[in-house]
């Protein structure tokens, strides 16, 4: 199996709600052995443009683990808060 990476690109709309979301989302990763690789902010574009200034990368042992995390009741319960807090594009990649 190859690792799977969930990459989120986001623009925060409500910093207080975003802080609430961030404070809860990491706990939802544990059952699927997800780990935060990094969070960051775009500082420069060498080529092209990305509409979202913030990024997060989460690694899972497999694509099925990433999919199970995203469809879990624990994470699904956080999606309304996420939608209020930020505009997010959430993608999955494998290596």
Strands 35-41 and 4-12: unpaired
Name the pLDDT band for 32 (thresholds 50, 70, 90): very high
Q: Give the contacts of 24 (CB within 8 A, at least 6 positions apart).
A: 78, 81
Handedness of CA 79, 81, 87, 88 (dihedral sign): negative
Check pLDDT > 90 for residue 1: no
For residue 81, give the CATH number of its domain: 3.30.70.100
* Residues shown for the chain: 95
Q: Does residue 51 sit within a domain? A: no
Q: What is the DSSP letter of 61?
A: S
pLDDT of residue 40: 97
Per residue in 36-70, pLDDT (tens digit) is 999 999 999 999 998 999 999 999 999 999 999 99
Query: What range does the domain containing 26 cover?
Result: 4-46+56-94
Angle, alpha carbons 51-20-69 (nearest 5°): 75
Residue 23 lies in a domain: yes
């Amino acid at each position: 199996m190859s690792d799977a990476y969930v990459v989120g690109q986001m623009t925060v709309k409500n910093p207080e709600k975003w802080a609430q979301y961030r404070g809860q989302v990491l706990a939802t990763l544990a059952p699927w052995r997800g780990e935060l690789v990094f969070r960051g902010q775009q500082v420069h574009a060498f080529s092209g443009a990305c509409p979202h200034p913030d990024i997060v990368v989460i690694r899972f042992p497999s694509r099925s683990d990433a999919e199970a995390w995203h469809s879990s009741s624990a994470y699904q319960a956080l999606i309304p808060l996420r939608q209020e807090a930020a505009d997010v594009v959430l993608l999955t990649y494998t290596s």
